[in-house]
Amino acid sequence: MNQRPKLTLILPLLVIVLIVVGGIVFIINQKNNATATLPLNADNDISVAATQSNASRDMSDNNGVLLLTDEEIKVRLSNLSNYPNDPKRIVVLEYSFLGDALALGLTPVGIADDNKPDSIIAEFTKQLSDYTSVGSRYQPSLEAIADLKPDLIIADDERHTVIADELNRIAPSVVLKSRGESYVENIQTAQLVGHIVHQDKKMSQVINTHLKKMADLKSQLATTPLANHSVQFAIISDKGMWLHGPSSYAGSLLNHLSIKSPIPEQTGEAYIATSLEQLLSANPDWLLIGRYNDHTIYDEWKSSPLFNQLTAVKNNQVIEVDPNYWALNRSMQSAEYMTAELLEIASSQGAEGSSPSVKESN
């Protein structure tokens, strides 16, 4: 009889204790779970921070050029075993790949040269003893390529992805970016080419030498009149004019050299078809033109009243440059030539009474 009141008191207390203990266990478990996930999240944050730090470091160490890491190269080319260790009979379907191969001391046996050997820049031709043309870059001859019995084919992803299967039936092939690439992308592709031919270290040395040379040229440009003016490169032909925008090879190189673009917002397309009215709207301080034909649309524009309103025309700052360097043969070799040419243009302009050795086109 006396035990009932005690049980009546004990049971509620027991329930309360169980609730409290359960709550404590729940809180401990939550803390344990949080503790268990913290290192993962922390590692991720550290990893992201490290990646960003590495990117900043690489940009700094490589004169503003973000190179691919070893891991990124391996991800992009995970099937390295598919390619020969020491290729001897390489066929390249773009001039940029020709530059990469020659930089490593490799001489392609076949080149898509548009059946125009003169379109290959002098820096390349002096390294070429002999090669076979495999037709145009737009539509290379599969038969000509097969006849060469290549052990490696390097093709452009924009133009040649549609024939990648046919190319692989001829020889191990890789499709990389070329047409429409930027200056930095061109160097990153050079890294990939170096990896494909198992010469990563040598390509790294080539790139480092190039970047140091470019840094020196860039510092010289910074003290010239070009540093504070906008510069635009364009291709002209009988069919029209195409401005090479900020995302193009020439445009991005100018940006890398800290030279202003008159159309900085037009990054959607590398090559921009342009009317005289659109050119006047852009109105660059300097206009560099690469001529594909003797008579072009630009020559027709000279009779228009709008033509003489162009700042570059008023100031005699329209200069003809070689499109083989500025457009076709995208490469480290071309970048060095183009930058040296900019220095020559700026130096000639700055010297009173002297005229540029490059061709003025007003």
pLDDT at 61: 61
User: Same domain, yes or no, for 88 and 168?
Assistant: yes
pLDDT digits (tens, 9 = 90+) for 183-221: 999 999 999 999 999 999 999 999 999 999 999 999 999
Q: Which residue has the higher pLDDT, 28 or 117?
A: 117
User: Same domain, yes or no, for 197 and 250?
Assistant: no
Strand-pair category, 318-321 with 359-360: antiparallel
User: Same domain, yes or no, for 253 and 337?
Assistant: yes
Nearest to 299 by CA among 241, 359, 233: 241
Domain boundaries, position 255: 222-360
In a domain, 128, yes or no: yes
pLDDT at 225: 86
pLDDT at 362: 54
In a domain, 26, yes or no: no
User: What letter does residue 112 receive in the DSSP assignment?
Assistant: -
Q: For residue 343, is it left (φ>0), alpha (ψ between -120 and 50) or beta?
A: alpha
Query: Residue 10: is its pLDDT beyond 90?
Result: no
Q: CA–CA separation, 178 vs 334, rounded Å?
A: 14
- Mean pLDDT, rounded, of the chain: 85
pLDDT at 53: 40
Please name the residues in contact with 13: beta carbons below 8 A apart, sequence gap of 6 or more. none
Query: Residue 46: is its pLDDT beyond 70?
Result: no
Contact 137, 93 (CB under 8 A): yes
Domains identified in the chain, total number: 2
Query: Residue 351: is its pLDDT beyond 80?
Result: no
User: Same domain, yes or no, for 259 and 229?
Assistant: yes
Query: Residue 11: is its pLDDT beyond 50?
Result: no
pLDDT at 62: 74
In a domain, 3, yes or no: no
In a domain, 95, yes or no: yes
Instruction: Please report, rounded to a whole number, the percentage of residues in the chain having pLDDT higher than 90.
Output: 74
Of 214, 238, 270, the domain-final residue: 214
CB atoms within 10 A of CB 252: 22
Query: Residue 27: is its pLDDT beyond 80?
Result: no
pLDDT at 266: 87
- Most confident stretch, 10-24, 60-74, 245-259: 245-259
Of 160, 188, 214, the domain-final residue: 214
In a domain, 43, yes or no: no
User: Same domain, yes or no, for 267 and 327?
Assistant: yes
User: Same domain, yes or no, for 193 and 228?
Assistant: no
User: Same domain, yes or no, for 175 and 124?
Assistant: yes
Q: pLDDT class for 359, splitting at 50, 70, 90?
A: low
pLDDT digits (tens, 9 = 90+) for 253-292: 999 999 999 999 888 899 999 999 999 999 999 999 999 9
Q: Can you give the pTM of this predicted structure?
A: 0.80
In a domain, 307, yes or no: yes
pLDDT at 147: 98
User: Same domain, yes or no, for 335 and 227?
Assistant: yes
In a domain, 54, yes or no: no
pLDDT at 361: 58
- Sheet order of strands, 90-92 included: 132-133, 110-111, 90-92, 152-156, 173-176
Q: CA–CA separation, 165 vs 170, rounded Å?
A: 9
Nearest to 233 by CA among 286, 186, 183, 182: 286
Strand-pair category, 152-156 with 173-176: parallel
Of 214, 249, 282, the domain-final residue: 214
- Mean pLDDT over 23-51 rounds to 35
User: Same domain, yes or no, for 236 and 208?
Assistant: no
Nearest to 149 by CA among 175, 172, 165: 172
User: Same domain, yes or no, for 209 and 228?
Assistant: no
Nearest to 141 by CA among 120, 116, 115: 115
In a domain, 51, yes or no: no
User: Same domain, yes or no, for 182 and 241?
Assistant: no
User: What CATH number does the domain containing 352 carry?
Assistant: 3.40.50.1980
Residue carrying structure tokens 């020659």: 102
User: Same domain, yes or no, for 205 and 171?
Assistant: yes
